[in-house]
Amino acid sequence: MMTDLTNLTVAQIRDGHRAGDFSAVEVAEAFNANVAGAKALNAFIVETPDHAIAAAKAADADRAAGTLKPLSGVPIGMKDLFCTNGVQTTAASHMLEGFVPRYESTVSQKLWDAGAGMLGKLNLDQFAMGSSNETSYFGNVISPWRRKDGGNAALAPGGSSGGSSSAIAARLCPAATGTDTGGSIRQPAAFTGISGIKPTYGRCSRWGIVAFASSLDQAGPMARDVRDCAIMLENMAGFDPKDATSLNLPVPNWEAALSSDLKGKTVGIPKEYRLDGIDPDIDAMWDAGIAMLKDAGANVVEISLPHTKYALPAYYIIAPAEASSNLARYDGVRYGLRDLPQGAGLQDMYAATRADGFGPEVKRRIMIGTYVLSAGFYDAYYTQAQKVRTLIARDFEQAFASCDVILAPTAPSAAFGLGEKMADPLAMYLNDVFAVPASLAGLPAMSVPAALNREGLPLGLQIIGKAFDEQGVLNAGLAIEERAGFTARAEKWW
Amino acid sequence: MMSDYRVQGETGEWEVVIGLEVHAQVTSNAKLFSGAATAFGAEPNTQVSLVDAAMPGMLPVPNRECIRQAVRTGMAIDAQINKWSRFDRKNYFYADLPQGYQISQLYHPLVGEGSLMIEADEKAGIPEAKRIGIERIHVEQDAGKLMHDQHPTMSYVDLNRSGVALMEIVSRPDMRSPAEAGAYVRKLRSILRYVGSCDGNMEEGSMRADVNVSVRKPGKEFGTRTETKNVNSVRFVMAVIEGEAKRQVALIESGGTVVQETRLYDPDRNETRSMRSKEDAHDYRYFPDPDLLPLELDDAFLAECRESLPELPDAKRARYLAAGISAYNADVLTAEVESALWFDALLETGAKPVAAANWVTSELFGALNRLGKSFADCPVTPAQAGELLGLVADGTISGTIAKQVFEKMLESGDGAAAIVEREGLKQTSDTGAIEAEIAKVLAANADKVEQYKAGKEALFGFFVGQTMKAMQGRANPQVVNELLKKALG
Amino acid sequence: MAIDQATVRKIASLARIAISDAEAAAMEGELNGILGWVEQLGEVDVTGVEPMTAVIPNRLRLREDVVDADPLTGGNRRDDILANAPAPQHGFFGVPKVIE
């Protein structure tokens, strides 16, 4: 038996279990122990060790019976934005504290059907709104990483999938689900030295995922490496007739087609992503990434995405507008929190419930969204933003006429300290400057760890692909992964 | 000619301007965006899916049949069908609206401009047929239901209706009297029922109208309108218009101004009252529903919709008129799809249109009324009626005997020919037998024969009647006529 | 376009979120900061540009008119619907009495 099963990747667990090197129950127990021992990270809202063990027992039985499934023996973490049958689902909000769905999201159901087990529900920014996991009603998630400056400042694991990123980086789970509306998979992956992919909009069903901004929300996997992302995504994606925006396409065998040979491929470098005054470590990493892809055989060209600077403002109109409407259902009538002051009428109950049930960032976005949709402002804000969104999508379309994938940094900085950006919402929003354009265009994009900065913190490179071309994204990611040789991990302090 | 309906005020005559927004429940098995059933009268909250209850993460997927029915309805009013339309969210908070928004269509409705015809009705004050414009039809979700009288401090929410598909059919402000509005609703209901897109059942709430009323001095600019919500019968629609027009005239003439507002009709008091309390913050923040892509219809879909349309009331009415049927009978027969279809089936048996129309509108309608039945559970089939009318047409029985035979058909369920045979009701043209009876009648009424011969020709009918009576109605009236004329010389 | 505290309160009322005066004051600054920043979109020339409708080319699929074909989107699951209700009442959702 291996010394520490929790150091294994998804592929290694799958293959080792299949080969009989260890039992699935041993794997589940090892991860359950890590989860139980990592309260200081606050990565989980609910721990479900029994679920993991039950799935592991089934996996061991399946192995004996010769009926192994693609993820048999693999325990994973589930972002608490996915509704899980019989297990509390909160979206990290007070509003949904205690809410126990009687249904299972399509994506989580697919994972269980593939043999995976659940270690628990992962913490996140409240209703997936945030870039640092500081908006959760259940407390901040702490990154396992620390700066090598001798200080012990708690760092943000990124957001909104901060529980997922922290848990994977700390070996609490080999992989986890994330959701990405404007960078919520990629930015936390970059902050914690792991990989994560947001597939093409429509690849993963949104059914059963607590909605933030419907036209942007996409589920995707987060894991330690590119292969694991491919394996996970194969078992999350697929057509779902319950989601009208679901893509009716077969799910490719991404893992089998992984190849880091980029001969004949062209990589585009968007000049507008070179920001004045950006951290030189970021630019250095980007240049290193370009060299790696050249080394893998790719041709590199400069491209232009002229409307890049307008992506973030457009996003901060569209996403809050959709959110203000999507979150109207949290009214205290049918489920979740009800705050009924003495003698209050229906409308007072709504106002009290929503004041109490939503955190400040959620309220801020609902307010912005309500304002930009309100009478007299709709065209100036919302229609204008959707037109700009068309231009942003067109930028990518034109760029992809001359390249196959685009390489850029995932985020403009390494992980920042908790509390550093909370006072200024705009500064926080700007952290998603590189992630948001691909979200607005619905394109597949992933982050892979590429380097450590001068403080010893991980930095991520982002690969953006053409619609439906997750394979191209994964392959370019693999080429970087192989060359970056990123093996650093956070030293255990928790 | 314009409607001459006027409200008499102190300052003179006022004209009423009326527009109607009719909400019609689309006939479908499942709801607009979920698979829950739509049947009326189920236990509370049993016909509610996770989608209808707006549980977290639930998503709408549109029901093809609801779209199809709305398109067919649009085609039935000669409307423009938009091959590209979108669903928008109308955002507001209420306990019967689980999502916090209603999925509707504001910016790009499924159906555009169309119209329908209301027929002339002198008695009701509609001097001639009139075309009423229809601005649009869009598809939207119904809300749930609140019950207020089951608990001292609580209202109860039932979501069975939540998400049921509605068509909102928006007229132009083309109506000028309560009668025109009533005729419009009846005609619209008739078309919907012909098409099969709505059962038109106003008692069960399948159809209800928002009534927009304003008044003006004839020929002047439109006045400010009020909207009275959820009026659920033709009679109430007319009452609302009448009352609201009078209220507005009195208000204006006493120096007040009409405010654009939503009103509620109280049928018990026959008056409307303001719902101003709800007006404070109406800003619906419509925007395209990001859970749904644009709805794009292809030619095959539209072709199927068109091909599946039945003959509509106007076409049917024209066909009946062309066959010589009276306008009155044509109106009566086409008003309801069931009677029209029954009548068409009768025509298919070879029945003569005019005689058949007269028989259906008098004999059959009378019988159904008497028996408390409808065409849905009609005790005779068109084939049976055709057999009966055939016996009259070929002279086997007289019209009088036909009435007796019909009664016996209703009693026994037997066929007309069998009854005639069994009861010996066949009409006779046996001149010998008829002449014998005529001789007896003339002998018994010698005085009247004298008078007739002296020029009182009206007595001829008396002799026919007496002879027919003596023949127990079985004599062929034409033969009786001829023989009588001969006998009376 | 700067918004004042009255507007903040109006928006909060539309969104059905109770706010205190202190919150309204704080939010006035925050919202103005964010709205001032997003207003740079106004500089983009969007002449002849259609607003985005579907980010990935895809057609709206329609569902067949079948009742309860999939239990996840069908009815007849009242217990599940009411399982998390704050005030279930004899098969209904209870809310504070609404006076119409």
Distance from CA of C67 to the nearest CA of B (A): 5
Range of the domain at A20: 5-259
What chains are in contact with A, requiring at least 3 Cβ pairs below 8 Å?
B, C
Whole-number percent of chain A with pLDDT over 90: 95
pLDDT surpasses 80 at B138: yes
Percent of chain A with pLDDT over 70: 99
CA dist B383 and B320 (Å) reads: 19
Express each pLDDT in A153-163 by its tens digit: 999 999 999 99
**What number is the average pLDDT over the span A84-111?**
98
Dump pLDDT digits (tens) for A259-300: 999 999 999 999 999 988 889 999 999 999 999 999 999 999
Residues of chain B positioned with their CB less than 8 A from the CB of C82: 45
Per-residue pLDDT tens digits for B71-91: 999 999 999 999 999 999 999
Confidence of residue A318 (pLDDT cuts 50, 70, 90): very high
What's the CA dihedral at B46, B49, B52, B58 to 10 degrees?
A: 160
For an interface test with C, the pick among B156, B197, B229, B284 (most C C-beta atoms closer than 10 Å) comes out as B156
Of B179, B21, B226, B177, the residue nearest B104 (C-alpha): B21
Predicted local confidence at residue B457, as pLDDT: 86
How high is the pLDDT of residue A3?
63
Asked whether the bond before C13 is cis by omega within 30 degrees of 0, the reply is no
Q: Which CATH class is domain B431-487?
A: mainly alpha
Q: CB of C83 within 8 Å of any CB in chain B? A: no
Option in B54, B285, B287 nearest A329 (CB): B54
| Predicted pLDDT at B279 | 46
User: Average pLDDT of B202-208?
Assistant: 90
Candidates A409, A410, A356, A431; CA nearest to A134 is A431
Confidence band, pLDDT 50/70/90 cuts, at residue A444: very high
Residue B427 has a pLDDT of: 78
Domain for residue A165, yes or no? yes
Chain C contacts in chain B segment 226-255 (CB below 8 A): none
Neighbours of chain C (3+ CB pairs under 8 A): A, B
A88 within some domain: yes
Q: Where are the domains of chain B?
A: 7-301, 311-423, 431-487
Segment B284-321, tens digit of pLDDT: 999 999 999 999 999 999 999 999 999 999 999 999 99
Separation CA A443–CA A182 (nearest Å): 11
Q: What is the pLDDT of residue B87?
A: 98
- Note whether residue A366 is domain-resident: no
In a domain, residue A31? The reply is: yes
Q: Is the pLDDT of residue A357 over 90?
A: yes
Phi, psi values for residue B54, rounded to 5°: 55, 45
Query: Annotated catalytic sites of A, by residue?
Result: 79, 160, 184
Q: Where are the alpha helices (DSSP H) in B77-233?
A: 178-195
Q: CA-nearest residue of chain C to B26?
A: C65
Label residue A254 by pLDDT band (50, 70, 90): very high
Sort strands A266-270 and A299-303 into parallel, antiparallel or unpaired: parallel
The SS3 assignment for B306 reads: helix
Distance from CA of B7 to the nearest CA of A (A): 37
Which residues of chain A are within 8 Å of residue C55 when distances are taken between CB atoms? 201, 215, 389, 393, 440-442
Q: Given pLDDT bands bounded at 50, 70 and 90, which one contains residue A439?
A: very high
- C30, with CB counted inside 10 A (0-12, 13-18, 19+), is middle
Using DSSP bridges, classify how beta strands A75-79 and A117-122 pair: parallel, antiparallel or unpaired: parallel
- Model confidence over B39-81: pLDDT tens digits? 988 999 999 999 999 999 999 999 999 999 999 999 999 999 9
ipTM of the predicted assembly exceeds 0.95: yes
Q: How many contacts (CB atoms, under 8 Å) link B and C?
A: 149
Q: Quick check: B278 pLDDT over 60?
A: no
The residues, ordered by sequence, that sit 6+ positions from B160 with a Cβ below 8 Å of its Cβ are B42, B44, B45, B46, B47, B48, B144, B145
The DSSP output letter for B361 is I
pLDDT over 50 at B334, yes or no: yes
Q: What is the mean pLDDT of residues A213-229?
A: 98
Stretch B434-443: mean pLDDT, rounded?
A: 89
B152 or B399: which leads in pLDDT = B152
The answer on pLDDT for A223 being more than 70 is: yes
Shortest distance, CA B108 to any CA of chain C (angstroms): 12
Answer whether C5 touches B (CB < 8 Å). no
Domains held by chain A: number: 1
- Show the domains of chain C with their CATH numbers: 5-41 (1.10.20)
Is pTM beyond 0.90? Reply is yes
- Which pLDDT score, from 0 to 100, does residue B426 have? 83
- pLDDT band for position B275 (cuts 50, 70, 90): confident
Q: Which CATH number belongs to the domain containing residue A157 in this structure?
A: 3.90.1300.10
SS3 content of chain C, % helix, strand, coil (to 5): 40, 10, 55
Q: Report pLDDT for B421.
A: 86
Predicted confidence at residue A1, as pLDDT, reads 45
pLDDT score recorded for residue B281: 59
